[in-house]
Every structure is written in structure tokens, then in C-alpha cells.
Amino acid sequence: MNQGIKKCQSCKKQFIIEPDDFAFYEKISVPPPTWCPECRLIRRMTLRNSRVFYLKPIEDSDKPAFSYFSKQFTSKIYSSQYWWSDNWDGLQFGKEYDFNKSFFQQFKELNYEVPFFANYNAASTNSDYCGNVYDLKNCYLLFNSGYSEDCLYGTDVIHSQFCIDVSHVINCSFSIELQDCEKCYQCLFSTHCKECTDVFFSENLINCDSCFGCINLRHKRYCIFNEQHSKDSYFKTIKEFNQGSYQNLTAIRDKINHLRLKYPFKYLHGIHNVNITGDYIDHSKNCKSCFVSRDLENSAYSQFVLFGKGRDSYDITIAGGEMCYEIMGAL
């Protein structure tokens, strides 16, 4: 089928449906979308509160719980522990389908009667103040995270330990203020680093050890502002920076911001990709307009696929699966 141009029913802007898009919709027997990819993403995300908590009464306890739902939300709320238990049965809220009413009206009514869990927080220990998480231990204010321990203040924190103020980190330990980093140990104030140890104030480093204020280095040790030092000279110079001073830290950051402008930027953030468009995507193949994801293949218009693999899927957000379309928060 040839390329199609449609007008989005939501924002009224034109968008393109490519021939391979038509092939996917035909494969799963659905009609082509009438909303553009951006509006479809907004529609999915309206169903998810990612980072805001409310103290709200719940049905199964006299004590309120931290919940995604504000006071304006009138449906029943169960604590996560009770919701996952066998103490209630979802079938008890079943209703006969009324063919004289529309499906969506009846589905809306059912939504107001069936209870919701206060907060998606499953298989976690001592991590009550975290949301959209799985299998955490001793964590606080983590969101969209899992399989981590002793971490504070972060989002998209996966398989990590002892990390504070981090975003989109995987297999990192004993680190502070990292963004988009993987397999890093004892790193501070750095972005887009992979397999690094004792790296500070740096960007886009791979397999580096003991580097300070560096940009775009590979397999280096004892570098300061992209200049090679001996081991003794490196540690002596680091001590002279006096990182305990806020004024000195601000000056270091300003110098790094000027330094980074001298170096080229890769067209996207990611590694081990083939035939990809989007950004912040790793270990993926044949994907179009995908973001903040990994282990995707033959997929398009998807975001935050971090917990499970995605195969032959379109428009999936915080999800994983095969031959999926327009899903959010599912594995």
C-alpha cells in the first residue's frame, strides 16, 4: 500500500502513515489510526500518574494510603497489599451487558464500581513511598523503577544499588546525579556513560576509569578535562579542586559546559542499534520513532520499554510484549 496522509482528529494536523505501518495494521487486523502519533501518546499517558502522590482513604483500612488518585476520584481504592491478595474477587462486580446502551458508557460505569489499587508497588520491601515500581528494597521516592535496592530520588532505575538523584540508570551502584548511564560504579554528576568507574562531571564516556570533567572518551584512565595525566598527577590535581565547596562545584560545571561545546554530538543517545530513529534507545533493531527504550525490534511509536522486550509492536508505552498495539503499563 502507498503512503497515506491523514488529518489528526485531535490536533487537526496532518500526519503520514507509511506503507510498513499499513502492513502492521493489516497483520493485526485493525484499521489505520485517525490520531497522529503524538496525540496517541498523550491519550495513553492521560491514564497514568507517574510521580504525584495523594494521601487518600482506602476501603480496606482505617488509615489513609499514598495513592495516585486525588480526592476528586470517587472509585473504591484498595491498598496495594489487599488488592494483590485473594481476599476479594473481581468477578463479584460483574454485570450483564446491556445491548441498549453503548459499550463505552457501560465500561465507564464499571470503572467507577470496580476498585483500583492505591499505588502500583509490587513485591517490594520497605519502599512504601515509591510508585509504579516492582521488586524494590529500602528505596524512597523512586518511580517507574524495579529490581533495585537502597536508592533514593530517581526515575527509571533498573537493577541498581545505592544510587541517589538518578534518572534512566541500569546496573549502576554507589553513584549520585547520573542520567542515562549503564553499568557505572561510584560515578558522580555524569550523563550518557557506560561501564565506567570513578568518573566525575563527565559526558559520553565508555569503559573509562578515574576521569574528571571529560567528554567523548573511550577506554581511558586518569584524564582531567580530556587531558591525560599520570596516576599521581591525577589524584593530586583532583584534591586541589576542593569539591566540598559549592562555589568550586559551580565553576567546574561551568567549565564543563563550555568544554562540551567543542566536541561533536552523536545524532542519538544509544548503543548496539540497527536501523533506528528516535533517542535514548539501546540494543534495538528496525524501530521507528521510539524513545527511552531497550530490546525493541520491528516496532514503532513506542516509549519507556525498559522492563520487558518489545517485538513487532506499535504504540506501546511503559510496556512490553509481542504483536501489541496501543497498550500502556503492561508486560
Residuewise pLDDT in 10s, the chain (331 residues) = 678 899 999 999 999 999 999 999 999 999 999 999 999 999 998 878 877 888 888 898 888 888 888 888 888 899 888 888 899 998 999 999 999 999 999 998 998 889 988 888 888 999 989 998 999 999 999 999 999 999 999 999 999 999 999 999 999 999 999 999 999 999 999 999 999 999 999 999 999 999 999 999 999 999 999 999 999 999 999 988 877 788 888 888 888 888 888 888 888 899 899 999 999 999 999 999 999 999 999 999 999 998 888 999 999 998 888 999 999 988 7
pLDDT at 291: 95
pLDDT at 69: 87
pLDDT, tens digit, for every residue of 248-259? 888 888 888 888
pLDDT at 127: 94
Dihedrals phi, psi of 266, to nearest 5 degrees: -70, 150
For residue 178, give the nearest of 207, 215, 153, 211 by alpha carbon. 153
pLDDT, tens digit, for every residue of 122-177? 889 999 899 989 999 999 999 999 999 999 999 999 999 999 999 999 999 999 99
Burial class (CB in 10 A: 0-12, 13-18, 19+), 274: exposed
**Cα 49 to the center of its chain, rounded Å:** 13
Coil, helix or strand at residue 89: coil
Domain map (residue ranges) of the chain: 4-35, 54-118, 172-260, 274-330
Dihedrals phi, psi of 12, to nearest 5 degrees: 70, 10
pLDDT at 243: 75
Burial class (CB in 10 A: 0-12, 13-18, 19+), 81: middle
Residue matched to cell numbers 500518574: 49
pTM: 0.87
C-alpha 98/C-alpha 105 separation (Å) is 10
Coil, helix or strand at residue 188: strand
pLDDT at 1: 63
